[in-house]
Amino acid sequence: MPGKPIIVVGHTALDRVYRIDAFPARPTKVRALDHREEGGGSAANAAAAVAVLGGAVRLWSRVGDDNPGEKARRALARAGVDVGALITCAGAKTPTAAVIVDAKGERLVVSEDDHVLPMEADWLPLSEVAQAGAVLSDLSWIEGTRAAFAAARACGIPTLVDVDLGGGILLERVVDLTDYAIFSGPAFERFVPGADDAARLDALIGMGVRHAGVTRGARGYAWKAREGTQGLQDAFKVPVVDTTGAGDAFHGVFALALAAGLDAAVCARAAAAVAALKCRRLGARAGLPTAAELDAFLLEQTGEGLPEGWLDFEGLSSPAGSAS
């Protein structure tokens, strides 16, 4: 480690997270039991997960020239993310989100998109793609995604998309350049044709991707590859405080493992473990594990730790905390 860098393209935001006892049955005032402010955004969270594990990662994204944008940038830099291509857009507003989490770990997210930010991608340092191990996108910035994926395809670098409800409709614009398509459960059912998960996975493979998968929360991760191999990675059981960012962490770690040449089953195992560990604390990043914590967790849960030589366990402590 750190090995070849992961490039992550997409959304950066600032989250304001509130923990409550329970969601009210009707509109009323509710007192927060705890709250925190931290960096957010699917792409940014995925990049933070890679960095906390000790991986090299570069975030290609945009923020506004405002206080939330500066806080989001500082949080990423503290986590170890390369923010050299996180540009500040004059006169633009950084997206923010209010995340409300109940005692069961269920959440309500009220967010802004980043369509108010400039969509041009002609400034991206595309020459860096040739040195990357993988390129991941959350589909929030389609122009940047298509530019990065085209450069990756030309270099033989694997590409991954994180497909949630907000991005599913955009997949068709980059599916020709996509190797790995990983959906959330709701997006999978809404945007992929088929009577069941098996049929939908087949439909995605038929679109030309090498690997299709769906994250199902407590039901785990189901996947199928073009060559016919398939699998189901069970979810790891942990006390759940907050599920915010679990999917983002899954995608980031899957990309990191893929860049190391690990097979799909090993990628899914590591990604599922990090997603579970993230859920132990409030917020999208506070629970992200270091490589040593991940290895210990896998040993405890499965009797088998991380692949030898993949991650560096020395001197890594979690820097992913509150924005300030």
Using a pLDDT cut of 90, give the percent of the chain over it.
Answer: 88
pLDDT in tens, 69-98: 999 999 999 999 999 999 999 999 999 999
CATH label of the domain that carries residue 207: 3.40.1190.20
pLDDT number for residue 146: 97
pLDDT number for residue 2: 63
Does residue 178 lie within any of the structural domains?
Answer: yes
Residue 127 belongs to what domain range?
Answer: 6-22+34-302
Q: Which residue has the tokens 């507003």?
A: 93
pLDDT in tens, 111-120: 876 567 899 9
Average the pLDDT over 90-109 and give the result. Answer: 92
pLDDT number for residue 323: 62
Task: State the sign of the Cα–Cα–Cα–Cα dihedral 133, 139, 145, 150.
Answer: positive
pLDDT number for residue 320: 56
Q: What is the pTM of this model?
A: 0.93
Does residue 75 lie within any of the structural domains?
Answer: yes
Residue 220, Cβ neighbours under 10 Å: how many? 17
What CA–CA distances, in Å, run from 77 to 16, 33, 39, 170, 320?
19, 29, 11, 29, 9
Alpha-carbon gap, residue 92 to 118, rounded angstroms: 8
- pLDDT band at 106; cut points 50, 70, 90: confident
pLDDT in tens, 149-199: 999 999 999 999 999 987 778 899 999 999 999 999 999 999 999 999 999
Average the pLDDT over 297-302 and give the result. Answer: 96
pLDDT number for residue 44: 98
Q: Is 1's pLDDT higher than 80?
A: no
Q: What is the CA radius of gyration of the chain?
A: 18
pLDDT in tens, 247-286: 999 999 999 999 999 999 999 999 999 999 999 999 999 9
Q: Is 305's pLDDT higher than 70?
A: yes
Residue 74, Cβ neighbours under 10 Å: how many? 14
pLDDT number for residue 165: 84
Does residue 238 lie within any of the structural domains?
Answer: yes
Q: Is 316's pLDDT higher than 70?
A: no
Does residue 320 lie within any of the structural domains?
Answer: no
Q: Is 315's pLDDT higher than 50?
A: no
- pLDDT band at 309; cut points 50, 70, 90: confident
Q: Which of 253, 216, 237 is nearest to 49 (CA)?
A: 253
Number of structural domains, the chain? 1
User: Which of the two residues, 223 and 112, has the higher pLDDT score?
Assistant: 223
Does residue 194 lie within any of the structural domains?
Answer: yes
Using a pLDDT cut of 70, give the percent of the chain over it.
Answer: 94
Average the pLDDT over 18-31 and give the result. Answer: 95
Does residue 81 lie within any of the structural domains?
Answer: yes
Does residue 177 lie within any of the structural domains?
Answer: yes
Does residue 317 lie within any of the structural domains?
Answer: no
pLDDT number for residue 114: 58
